[in-house]
Amino acid sequence: MRHPFGLLSANPRLACRGALLALVLLLAACAHAPPRNPLATWVPSPNHDIRRPVLIVLHFTNQNSAQASLDTLRTKNSGGPVSSHYLIGSDGHVYQLVSDQLRAWHAGAGHWGTITDVNSASIGIELDNDGTTPFAQPQIASLLRLLGDLTTRWHIPRTQIVGHEDFAPTRKDDPGPLFPWQQLADAGFGLWPLTPLADPPAGFDPWMALGLVGYPLEDRAAAVRAFHHHFRGMRGDALDAEDLRILYSLTQQIESGSNTRAID
């Protein structure tokens, strides 16, 4: 008579293997399932979405090689664990360390405009650079391709690309005054002043304008230093007439709700 449970039960070794395979498949399914609260009955709804970043943050690694940075970004270091979504080597090679949909630990404390949890709202890109040398052109070419991909796939406004120091000017100085923001602007990325620059009208408030752009103003000198690095490629913590013209151009674009620079 055939065993009621079929051939698997007739062969104990085969039955054991079948049970193990079923267990492995079950565990694999659980590993990819979203976490469920055991205090509640799971009644799934299709009405949900994944994290959608609205900002891209650029950093320099301040280390001497891409490999050293990969090690830092995947392990604990003296300042605690850090990560970023991408790392671009000086040779232009692009590494991804964290899924775009997940929250990487690259931003830390700070705020940009109304965004107060930058890690939750952004994608972080580290550039292999020690902070004292010009950024390699193969690296910038790869960055431009990556920015085109990210802004297209995630519908991130092309003006929403900032440096770490822009939103954390009291703590950070990257990507620094050597970063080629003008080259990014020529490719259609980042908020950038439109030329020819015009003098602002009487009563123009540069501090209100700096805050409108997104800079935190708790330490105004630090904010100006970051602004100078980004928009003028120079150091200094006092505003001058050229700064006011740049700020006026930026605020005009923001208030009009568009950046009229041509976008590729």
Q: Show which residues are catalytic.
A: 126
Given the structure tokens 């001497």, which residue do they identify?
Answer: 64
Q: Let me know: does 122 contact 214? Beta carbons within 8 Å.
A: no
Task: List the structure tokens of 194.
Answer: 């439109």
d(Cα 144, Cα 125) in Å, to the nearest integer? 12
Q: Can you spell out the DSSP letters for 21-89?
A: HHHHHHHHHHHHSPP--TTS-----S--------EEEEEE--SS-HHHHHHHHHS--TT-----SEEE-
Task: List the structure tokens of 231.
Answer: 């928009």
Neighbour-count burial for 165-201, b at 16+ CB within 10 Å, e otherwise: bbbbbeebbbbbbebebebbbebbbbbbbeeeeeebe
Give the CA count within 13 Å in the CB-facing half-sphere of 244. Answer: 12
How many residues are listed for the chain in this entry? 264
Closest CA to 53 of 127, 157, 145: 157
Sequence-ordered list of residues with C-beta below 8 angstroms from that of 209, at least 6 positions apart, any chain:
247, 248, 250, 251
